[in-house]
Amino acid sequence: MRRLLAGSFTMLLLLLNTLVLIGPLMVFALLKLIAPGQWRDRASWAVMWFAETWAEINKLIFRLCIPTHWDIRGAESLRVDTSYLVVSNHQSWVDIPALIQALNRRTPFFKFFLKKELIWVPFLGLAWWALDYPFMKRYTKAFLDKHPHLKGKDLEITKAACELFKRQPVTVVNYLEGTRFTQAKHDQQASPFRHLLKPKAGGVAFVLAAMGQQLDRMLDVTVVYPRGRIPGFWNLVCGDVSQVVVDIHSREIDPALLAGDYENDPAFRQTVQDWVNQLWADKDARIEALRLELSQ
């Protein structure tokens, strides 16, 4: 019963924080939609401030209500005036609070590439647009085979959506696995990695092609839970998660990864895939080492 009450109370505080701040955020989002010139920039700043404040209050709620120790490693050199590509493993919805704990107000507020159709989601679409989430247009190979004149247009549309980031720093998050890790998915894929699903190089290649010149560094983020037990969000708010390790390695982005056509150049595609597989092999070894450390 105590666990149920603790989880319900924490969820209530998180919900209240969201309800209190979503109102003013949406007001400034609407102002940004209609405001001219410098007023639009000011509205954009206000929207970002409310989002970061929401995340910071969530961090405070977690600190006061649950016993989880957030073991953040490698965050000392992070800067809010630097643009980052974040590449992370993905296991649970708890990964999102873990990223907030590690990155909020240490880097620019992080964003995900979203499908262009999501802009029409009520309220959320406007909020994502106001937060400058990049909306991407992707054509399938089958569609391009029927409409070859549109090849490259999806990338042009996404590049145009990212023009704003030439004037302001950004943190873009990319989960290379494309989905949350489960043992069943791992076995179904016959993944060559012990703790990871197979990475998908196409997504990160698209991000690098769209805005690679605007990104200063890559943050190689590894999230690890004690004893290899992957918790759900309810486990977190109930206080069942004793520790979360967020291990951050800041890396240079190899210029060779920016100078090619992933879709149409087989040699360049192989270069990107080799880079991604080596990144994943290193991450798999790091997860094993961190799990061993946590078990001692």
For residue 99, the domain's CATH number is 3.40.1130
pLDDT confidence bin for 65, thresholds 50/70/90: very high
pLDDT at residue number 110: 87
> 154 in a domain, yes or no?
yes
Please give the pLDDT value at position 148: 67
Please give the pLDDT value at position 141. Answer: 66
Domain assignment present for 94: yes
pLDDT at 137 over 70: no
Q: Residue 210: what pLDDT?
A: 79
Residue 35 inside a domain? The answer is no
Q: How far apart are CA 248 and CA 245, in angstroms?
A: 10
274 within domain boundaries: yes
pLDDT at residue 32 greater than cutoff 70: yes
9 has a pLDDT exceeding 70: yes
Residue 14 lies in a domain: no
Question: Which percentage of the chain shows pLDDT scores above 90?
Answer: 55
Residue 50 lies in a domain: no
Higher-confidence position of 265 and 60: 60
148-158 pLDDT, tens digit each: 665 656 666 66
Structural domain for 208, as ranges: 68-295
Helix (H, G, I), strand (E, B) or coil at 248: strand
The tally of domains found in the chain comes to: 1
Alpha carbon distance 115, 125 (integer Å): 11
> Does any domain span residue 39?
no
- pLDDT: is 236 or 136 the higher one? 236
Query: Nearest CA to 32 among 22, 44, 45?
Result: 44
Least Cα distance to 154 among 143, 174, 135, 139 occurs for 139
Beta bridge partners of 246: 72, 223
Q: Is the per-residue pLDDT at 143 higher than 70?
A: no
User: For the whole model, what pTM was predicted?
Assistant: 0.87
Structure confidence at residue 154 (pLDDT): 60
Q: Can you tell me the mean pLDDT for 157-171?
A: 74
| Residue 176 clears pLDDT 80, i.e. is over it | yes
By C-alpha distance, which of 223, 285, 231 is closest to 248? 223
Q: How far apart are CA 106 and CA 101, in angstroms?
A: 9
Burial class (CB in 10 A: 0-12, 13-18, 19+), 174: buried
Using the predicted structure, report yes or no on whether residue 189 has a pLDDT greater than 80. yes
> Cα 205 to chain center, whole Å?
15
Mean pLDDT of the chain: 87
* Residue pLDDT, tens place only, 118-130: 778 887 788 888 8
Is residue 48 included in any domain, yes or no?
no
pLDDT band at 115 (very low <50, low <70, confident <90, very high): confident
Percent of the chain beyond pLDDT 70?
90
pLDDT over threshold 70, residue 161 = no
